[in-house]
Amino acid sequence: MKYASEASKGRAAEVAARSGVPASAPEEQHGTRNRVARSILDHGPSTAAELALRLELTQAAVRRHLDTLVADGVVEPREKRVYGARGRGRPAKVFALTDCGRDAFDQAYDKLAVDALRWIEQSAGGGEAGRAAVAAFARARLAAQAEGYRGAVEAAAPGRRTEALAGALSADGYAATARSAPVGEQLCQHHCPVAHAAERYPQLCEAETEVFSQLLGTHVQRLATIAHGDGVCTTFVPKTGKVEKTDTSTTKTTTASASTAGRNPE
């Protein structure tokens, strides 16, 4: 899906002239710019170097497109998060989609979703009862959605279930990936089709986290969400059934707890 407005198309020739791009190639440039935006959607906040590598473009070309995307309000530069000890020098700059940028990707029904959830909340009387009604709806919705994921997760080997869940989520438009993390894995969703609704009704995120825990058979911890302004929805999945040797040559099985899940080791 193309993200650009007619106004941004109108600025394409001006940007091309400033950057030395032939004026005869605005549509080609627009197509490449869409690829840059889509790559950020699929992979999360990215540096110019990472985008250039993925898209097989020069960094100079990627930076020209990023300049236009920033000017259009589609992406924004951020300081790259560093986990653990920070090295010398300034952190690399990453580019993340803005709310405006996300709006162009499969979020046309957000207003309808928010209106429906508001009706549920008000019909239940508002207040605590209203929030409980929304939570019940969110759980029912996610439970039905989870049935489509259960087969893929249960068919996967125990060590590949997070990866299998990521694949099932991606098929539903969440652009999800699984990656190793200290003492566990991280399930990352680079896109959320209901991000605006979840910003107003966090019960959607809470129900989703509960479903992930049920599907994976372990406690999980939500570390970040797009709905709260983070670049990626990140869920920590601790390792379970880990066997460790003790000083007395015996073994014990340990499971990450809610109090330690998701923390990077000091």
How high is the pLDDT of residue 99? 81
Q: What is the largest CA-CA distance in the chain?
A: 75
| pLDDT in single tens digits along all 266 residues of the chain | 444 444 444 444 443 443 333 444 555 667 889 899 999 988 889 999 999 999 999 999 999 999 999 998 999 998 876 555 555 656 678 999 988 887 777 555 677 888 999 999 999 999 999 999 999 999 999 999 899 999 999 999 988 999 999 999 998 889 999 999 888 999 999 988 888 899 999 999 999 999 999 999 999 999 999 998 888 999 999 987 443 333 333 333 333 333 333 333 33
How high is the pLDDT of residue 156? 94
Q: Phi, psi at residue 65, to the nearest 5°?
A: -70, -40
CATH code given to domain 103-236: 3.30.1380
Question: For the chain, where do the domains classified as CATH 1.10.10.10 start and end?
Answer: 30-79+91-96
Rounded CA separation 136/145 (Å): 14
Question: For the chain, where do the domains classified as CATH 3.30.1380 start and end?
Answer: 103-236
How high is the pLDDT of residue 40? 92
CA 127, 192, 187: angle at the middle one, nearest 5? Answer: 105
Residue partners of 6: CB distance under 8 A and separation at least 6:
none
Cα–Cα separations (whole angstroms), residue 9 to 2, 4, 6, 33, 183: 11, 7, 5, 11, 47
**Side chain identity, residue 122:** Q
For 30-79+91-96, CATH number out of 3.40.50.720, 3.40.190.10, 1.10.10.10, 3.20.190.10 equals: 1.10.10.10
Q: Is the dihedral of CA 67, 69, 73, 77 positive or negative?
A: negative
**Side chain identity, residue 22:** P
How high is the pLDDT of residue 249? 37
